[in-house]
Amino acid sequence: VGNRQAGFTIIEITLFMAITGLLLMFALAGTGNTIRSFRFTDTARSLEAFAQKQYDDIVNGLNNRSDTVSCNSGVINTATGQTVGSSNCLLMGKLIVFRKGSSRADIYNVVGSEPANVNYAQSDNDLIAAFQPTAVTETATSTYDLPWGAQMTGFKRVSDSVATDGLLLIRSPKSSRIVSYTFKVPAAVPTSLSTVVNDANTLLKTTNFCFTDAEGDGRQARLQITSAPTQEAAKVIFDAPTTECNGV
């Protein structure tokens, strides 16, 4: 009997390499999708945590004014220093402005001052209006950036379909209740917020702030703000059809 060497033919090797390459391609594609999904979930949870933290900071009275700035009767002066805590201004809340087509949100402190002979029996909203809330745009502003290059895609106040990109959160002067207002912010962020808090259309309205991932593969979610007076008002919903995002 002659010797016969066992081995693979060229066709068998070619088929093996082709199948291996195809499996590797599918594996890499699956890994890419997993990474994108992880990033988008991380973006959503980060935004939700950011929004909820704003409620907590307001309730806890977190004050980031430095002693190089003064505040008297709701008026900020960046040229005069003043010991923190000695002002007659009341730190009332925050104004958050989301930027469509951008990863950024701008955050401004909101201050007010107690009027003479104030009636604390008023409703929370009427009392807030009496304190004449003012956005501090000159100093102590901050920004928040969505992770992984995600961007804001649109906004919608559910009650009237207005594209409201501003979220105003104010603590009632008589309780720890947080009152929310959503409105369309003009090009120049206003300092006086009296018009906003005196408009019934802005008060305690469910509003969607929608965002998408950086890859542009159709993933879209929404940060929804409801009328709840605590951080429970802010939650992310991963279902964000265009009809829930595109206000006018």
DSSP state at residue 244? G
User: Counting every residue, how long is the chain?
Assistant: 248
Quickly state the pLDDT bin for 9 (edges 50, 70, 90).
confident
Over residues 141-192, the pLDDT tens digits come to: 999 999 999 999 999 999 999 999 999 999 999 988 999 999 999 999 999 9
Mean pLDDT of the chain, nearest integer: 90
Q: What is the pTM of this model?
A: 0.85
Backbone CA torsion sign across 122, 201, 197, 226: positive
Give pairs for 159-163: CB < 8 Å, separation 24+: 159/201, 159/205, 159/206, 160/201, 160/205, 161/247, 161/248, 162/201, 162/247, 162/248, 163/246, 163/247, 163/248
Residues 6+ apart with CB under 8 A from 241: none
